[in-house]
Amino acid sequence: MPPDHRRVLRTLGLGLALASLTGCTAERSEPPSGRLPNIVFILIDDLGWTDTGRYGSTFYETPHINRLADAGMRFTNAYASSPVCSPTRASILTGKHPARLNITDWIGGRQRGVLLPADYEHQLPLDELTVAEALQEAGYATGFIGKWHLGDPPYFPENQGFDVNIAGHGAGHPASYFYPYRAEEGRSTAWDVPGLEDGAPGEYLTDRLTQEALRFIEAHRDQPFLLFLSHYAVHTPIQSKPELEEKFRAKATSLPPAPHPPFQSESGRALTRQHQDDPVYAGMVASVDESVGRIMEKLAELTLTDNTVVIFTSDNGGLTTLAGERWAPTAVQPLRAGKGWLYEGGIRVPLIIYWPDVVAPVSVSNEPVTSADLYPTMLGVAGLELRPAQHRDGRSLIPILRGDSALERAALYWHFPHYHGSGNRPSGAVRAGDHKLIEWFEDGRVELYDLRADIGEREDLSDRFPVKTEELRAMLNAWRGELDARMPKPDPEHR
């Protein structure tokens, strides 16, 4: 149905939509109270798997995120649908794999090499029924605050189901994290953050977006709401509040000698940082943690905590690996590589889901899950019927959250037919059980890893286990054919 028709139906048929919630099927979850649960979705940009305390960091300080993890369920095998941002963000909003949407690179990416990267869409189509539109039709107030990066006008949040859009536009990072969030004179204005012109000198972007989120919660305290807080942090430019940078600079000087060199070569094309000791990045993480704490404090102040589900995750792996004369700001040891790669460091992400009276505190799930699963999960939280025609690749996580069962899914897949500034080359991957295969599109070479025994992906088993290798390669090829995934082609100009 065209989006303008859906908006008309939302206006005329809201009462009918609300009335439809009284029924229930096995695929739905009844709200624990008379009011539909609020949903707060906190998406951090480029946050690595081990960038918080509960996921292993001893240098970064994340007490509020730690408390959230202790109060809910922490997923140890959660994956982004892509090693870069825009495709993962599209998968969260649609429940579809990036390859099905043909949004397979960060919007604006256009690197080339031996191969011409696959063509891809530069916006999230308006005819997709986003999770925000589904919840909006059910009577939710919907607010988007922060990074969008899913197309230029008219493909903005306000046309994708969000009643409110603050600071979301086509760019993937801010010109600056400090007010007025604009580039220096004479430089491109494409990265200038819109809609925050009423700030004050010294204002920090993560703090400002949090303040806007608190205002949204306050304004909609008396109705169910979806708050999608999409922080620009911890993406570049790496900039922290001075007092936090000073704090972690002092902490870095007291660290014991590291057991490994500061950087490790990745495939001879890039360097991967091996230690978490960057004080500026640590300050950025601390500001994100403060944001989580302020959100939870506001929910408690308004007595909304018991009827609010909080989802916390990242859009791809941490920025640990870069090619050329550049140093990445974080490390995700023991995982290999980082953002831009299909090794675990590029796609394994933190995922915490807090749901009072449903999820037992200090719960941990080792089930492999992916960002496309969050769409049907949010529908289930709201007691809505699932929409398999829309979330074709996502699976509801509610059975796991209730502790009932694992997901019925044979494998997880990735498709990244692009080059990246991290040194990665076009590739695809599949994980089935504990085994993971990576295929390189330039030469067809494959690598096979046993993640249970080798989470760092250091021992390629493809020669030792040719049957398993061919089995996973066939699965990956068949999956690409099913989705009609676009592939890179030889570059006639490459020499």
Question: DSSP characters for 351-389?
Answer: EEEE-TTTSPTTEEE---EEGGGHHHHHHHHTTPPP-TT
User: What is the band of 259 on the pLDDT scale with cuts at 50, 70, 90?
Assistant: confident
* Mean pLDDT within 40-65: 98
Domain ranges within the chain, ordered by starting residue: 35-407
Angle CA(456)–CA(460)–CA(464) in degrees, nearest 5?
Answer: 140
Q: Which amino acid is at 299?
A: L
Q: Look up residue 84 and give its DSSP letter.
A: S
Question: What is the pLDDT, as a whole number, of residue 493?
Answer: 85
460 neighbors 448 (Cβ within 8 angstroms)? yes
pLDDT 10s digits, 382-423? 999 999 999 999 999 999 999 977 898 999 999 999 999 999
* Mean pLDDT within 431-446: 98
Helix (H) / strand (E) element for 439: namely strand 435-440
Structure tokens belonging to residue 245 = 């940078």
Examine the pLDDT at 180 and tell me if it is beyond 70. yes
Pick the closest to residue 157 from 149, 145, 165 (CA basis).
165
- Distance between CA atoms of residues 143 and 195, nearest Å: 14
- Distance between CA atoms of residues 183 and 397, nearest Å: 41
* The residue to which tokens 């080798």 are assigned: 454
Domain 35-407 has CATH 3.40.720.10: yes
pLDDT 10s digits, 383-393? 999 999 999 99
Examine the pLDDT at 356 and tell me if it is beyond 80. yes
**Environment class of residue 27 by beta-carbon count within 10 Å: exposed (0-12), middle (13-18) or buried (19+)?**
middle
User: What is the band of 30 on the pLDDT scale with cuts at 50, 70, 90?
Assistant: low
pLDDT 10s digits, 244-254? 999 999 999 99
pLDDT 10s digits, 82-128? 999 999 999 999 999 999 999 999 999 999 999 999 999 999 999 99
- Distance between CA atoms of residues 128 and 3, nearest Å: 8
User: What is the band of 32 on the pLDDT scale with cuts at 50, 70, 90?
Assistant: very low
- Distance between CA atoms of residues 17 and 111, nearest Å: 45
* The residue to which tokens 């536009």 are assigned: 169
Question: What is the pLDDT, as a whole number, of residue 258?
Answer: 86
Q: Which amino acid is at 411?
A: A
Q: Which amino acid is at 183?
A: A
Question: What is the pLDDT, as a whole number, of residue 25?
Answer: 33
Question: What is the pLDDT, as a whole number, of residue 185?
Answer: 86
Q: Look up residue 483 and give its DSSP letter.
A: H
Lowest mean pLDDT among 224-228, 407-411, 452-456: 407-411
Compute φ and ψ for 42, nearest 5 degrees.
-110, 110
* Mean pLDDT within 451-461: 98
- Distance between CA atoms of residues 21 and 29, nearest Å: 10
Pick the closest to residue 73 from 404, 366, 296, 353 (CA basis).
353
Structure-model confidence comparison of residues 185 and 301, the more confident one = 301
Structure tokens belonging to residue 49 = 């798997």
Question: DSSP characters for 14-64?
Answer: HHHHHHGGG---TT----SSSSPPEEEEEEESS--TTSSGGGT-SSS--HH
The per-residue pLDDT of the chain, averaged, comes to 93
Confidence (pTM): 0.93
